[in-house]
Amino acid sequence: MRQFFSTRQLAHAPLRELHNGGFTDYAETPARADAIRAGIGATEDPADHGTAAIQAVHTLDYLDFLQAAPMRWAEAGRPGDVIGYVWPVVGRRPLTFARIDAMVGQFSFDAATPLAATTWDAAYWSAQTALSALDAVLSGDKAALGLCRPPGHHAGADYMGGYCYLNSAAIVAQAAIDAGKTRVAILDIDYHHGNGTQDIFYDRSDVFYASVHADPLTDYPFYWGHADETGEGEAAGTTLNLPLPQGATLAPFRQAQATALEAIAAFGPDLLVISFGADTWEGDPISHFKLTTADYAVLARDIAACRWPSVILTEGGYAVGALGDNVASFVSGFQS
């Protein structure tokens, strides 16, 4: 399987995040990418596809914000990374602000996603990595892997959150549609619900979004990923959320994934995008499922058996010491 990664993705390295009432060490570290590379072996540098595919998913205002906010933060005399403290929960209006604190609230949904001067380039190359994996599949490969770090599935069209800035899975799904695919499915098996991906395609009947994740009543991102969210308008029925309780092992996870795969089969995709997070692993420091390293090969075999051309993109997974083995297990299952 061809595997893509750019070392430019490593420069994004926030130190602290606001969590549970205080600052704590940032969990989404560059060391995660090094660990995955050590586990999966050689990767190819992605090609530079430019910004068109990114702009097909994200708004220009948001992309300008991601690039300019760190400079505005510094101009305001602030130390460290851009981080918000106020959010427009009552209703988001298209207001234009000069003050950085208002801007960051407008373009984010949490305080756990710091933005640094190095973030844009790293997120840009994470998206290019995803697009290069798509290229490999569009040119005939059965599957390809994009080592997407920073991850993407929490980022919406005009907001960052959950360590995510550019939504690589959505960018790939949209690029596949723009390349002539008519029906694309996204299977999201990160521990957390991919609220950004769901939001981007919630009213789109040509993209099916299915996710197995921790019940948002107990786990981040709390406000999205509930079972009654199923899509809207002509897209009703093209979103499928399968929340599981904390402590879930392979058996319930595999069963939920089978339910997702059946629904995707009924949809009839000509391409599958997999948002793969290894934060479902039993030792993950911020998550509460109980999958083992060997379980990832089982899950991957079940998906590969469906025989859809597949673009695999990495999302979360914070047990750095096991992350390489966990991603390698998933890749090995896909190929066996």
Catalytically active residues are: 154
How far apart, in Å, are the Cα atoms of 160 and each of 70, 82, 120, 155?
Answer: 14, 12, 12, 5
Stretch that binds Zn ion, among 36-44, 117-125, 199-207, 271-279 (CB under 5 A): 271-279
* Binding flags for Zn ion, 314-333, as an x/- string (CB under 5 A): --x-----------------
CA pair distance 221, 113, nearest whole angstrom: 13
Phi then psi dihedrals of residue 57, to 5 deg:
-115, -45
Phi then psi dihedrals of residue 207, to 5 deg:
-130, 120
* Binding flags for Zn ion, 235-254, as an x/- string (CB under 5 A): --------------------
Give 311's strand partners. Answer: 144, 273
Using CB under 5 A as the binding rule, whether residue 190 contacts Zn ion is answered as yes
Q: What angle do CA 83, 85, 87 make, to 5 degrees?
A: 110
Give 208's strand partners. Answer: 185
Of these, 279, 284, 295, 325, which contacts Zn ion (CB under 5 A)? 279
Cβ proximity to Zn ion: between 215 and 279 the closer is 279
154 binds, among Zn ion, ligand SP5, none (CB under 5 to 8 A by kind): ligand SP5
Cβ proximity to Zn ion: between 124 and 276 the closer is 276
Residues 189/280, Cβ–Cβ less than 8 Å: yes
Stretch that binds Zn ion, among 57-65, 172-180, 191-199, 211-219 (CB under 5 A): 191-199
Binding stretches for ligand SP5 (CB under 6 A): 17, 19, 24-25, 27, 112, 151, 154, 162-164, 190, 192, 220, 277, 279, 286, 315-316
Closest CA to 333 of 306, 308, 296: 296
295 binds, among Zn ion, ligand SP5, none (CB under 5 to 8 A by kind): none
Closest CA to 244 of 231, 229, 228, 225: 225
How far apart, in Å, are the Cα atoms of 238 and each of 152, 183, 203, 222, 273?
Answer: 20, 11, 9, 21, 15
Using CB under 5 A as the binding rule, whether residue 188 contacts Zn ion is answered as no
220 binds, among Zn ion, ligand SP5, none (CB under 5 to 8 A by kind): ligand SP5
Cβ proximity to ligand SP5: between 190 and 199 the closer is 190
Q: How far is the CB of 31 from ligand SP5 (least distance, A)?
A: 13
Asked whether the CA dihedral 170, 176, 182, 184 is positive or negative, the reply is negative
Q: How far is the CB of 148 from ligand SP5 (least distance, A)?
A: 10
Using CB under 5 A as the binding rule, whether residue 277 contacts Zn ion is answered as yes
Tell me which residues touch Zn ion (CB under 5 A): 190-192, 277, 279, 316
